[in-house]
Each structure stands twice: as structure tokens, then as C-alpha cells.
Amino acid sequence: MSILDTFDPSPEAIIMPKLIRPARGAETPLPETVLVTFRKEITERLLQRFAPEVVGACALGRTVQLYRFVCESKPFGFYNTLVGGAPNAILLEQAIAMGGRRILVFGTCGALRPDLTSGHFILPTEAYRDEGVSYHYAPPGDWIRVPTAQRLGEIFDELGLPYTKGRTWTTDAFFRETPRNTQLRREQGCLAVEMECASLMAVAQLRGAEVYQFFYADDCLTGNTWDRRTMGAETQDTQERVLAAALAVALKLSAINP
């Protein structure tokens, strides 16, 4: 039996989020629109600006707190996620179980084209499934579609935010982005490489939630070389621009089903 045979279409499993959450005590539900970022610095900016209320927590090696805050009279959920498909799937499952329905995930990616400069917004349309989580949530296949990409692009257009839209490569193996595989993914139309998109879309597909995702370019992999660019040295201006974009998008999403 290979990983291609692991998908079970039943939404039920032996351990479900609804069995875990009550054991943590009474919790305030998350608002339907939830923001998710990977960056500690962006998290700190949001916490300072909105002083959100802690409404829950998940233990994944470290405790990830789930927050509720209000922006322009609209309630939002928020958490600072971890890197990789598996922890993101666990956190997303629990956020959905707590009431999240429209989840906006944003973070950096590796650019696969040199013209996608640092900080450039990228909206994924399909993700190459070079990871494991998605095969437990969706039928096997090389690609998984991002069904929210069209609406997210429309919102970016409405806000006047420049972006590039296209395929992404989701991988579990950060140190196995080899020249051969990088070139193959580029030839298939991938603009970016990251570690979560395919997993997140598969979870959303099974659970009936909407996950919206945008990246902003960080490092760059072209040919046989790696350009570190701003990796680990993101400017405060970039952080503020990304947070402002995420909040503006979230406000638009919250109006879909008020």
C-alpha cells in the first residue's frame, strides 16, 4: 500500500477536533473570518495594534494561541501558525472546529522566477502535491486546485494591489529542492515553492471551509543557484505592507456572508 492508496472519503476519523477541544475547557468560538500568518514580527504588530482576546490554544510542540479581535467593527480570528503541511493541517482543523469558515493564510515563499522580486504578491491557483498531508484529505493526483484564487484575485484588483497568479510547488523537503526538481516545477508553470498550500487546500476541501492564500516572494531559486535576498531580513516596511494588505482582504472576505 502506497501513499496513493491512503485517501478515505469518509470525513470521520477516530480522533476528531470536536473530541479534543472540549477537553481544553470552555472556549469562545472563533469568528468566521480568520487570519493566519507565519511571521512572528507580523503577529507582534497585530497584537500591539488590536490587543486581541485569547479564545483558545493548541499544543503542537509549542502552544499556539487563537485570538479574536475587532477591526472596523468586524470580528476576526487570528493565529500565528507553524511551518509545514502537517502542523498547519492540525491547526486548520481546530480553527474550523471552533467556527472558522473563511481562512486567509499569508506568508513568504521562494520565487522560481527572478522577475518575482522580494515582497511581490503571488496568488496560487494550483499546488503541486509534493507532500503527504493532502493524500489523506483528497483523492490522489499531482495537483490540487485553489478554488478561492479567482475571488482573491478580484479582491486584490478591487484594492489595487499588484500581484502575479499561477501554480505553486508544495514540498515537505526544504533541503531537497534540487536543480532537477526545481526546473521540472518551473517547466510546469510553478511560480513559487512553499510548504503548506496543497495541505491547506485539501483540508478545506474535505471540511467544507474556504481557505484563501497569498504569498509574498522572499528568496529565489533559479537554475542551480540560490539567492537569499531578504530571507530572515524582512524590512519593517514590508511587514507593515503585508499586514495592511491582509487586513484589507479580510475585511472584504468578512462581507461575503455578513
The pLDDT of residue 26 is 57
Alpha carbons 68 and 163: distance in angstroms, whole number:
29
Element housing 207 (H / E)? helix 197-207
Boundaries of every domain in the chain = 25-254
Q: What backbone phi and psi angles, to 5 degrees, belong to 136? A: -95, -10
Topology (CATH level 3) of domain 25-254: Rossmann fold (3.40.50)
Sequence-distant (≥ 6) Cβ neighbours of residue 87 within 8 angstroms: 60, 61, 81
pLDDT per position as a tens digit, 74-116: 999 999 999 999 999 999 999 999 999 999 999 999 999 999 9
- The pLDDT profile of the chain, 258 residues, written as one tens digit per residue, is 788 889 999 999 999 988 776 555 557 889 999 999 999 999 999 999 999 999 988 888 889 999 999 999 999 999 999 999 999 999 999 999 999 999 999 999 999 999 998 889 999 999 999 999 999 999 999 999 999 999 999 999 999 999 999 999 999 999 999 999 999 999 999 999 999 999 999 999 999 999 999 999 999 998 788 988 877 778 889 999 999 999 999 999 998 754
Alpha carbons 27 and 17: distance in angstroms, whole number:
13
The pLDDT of residue 22 is 54
How big is the chain by its Cα radius of gyration, in Å?
18
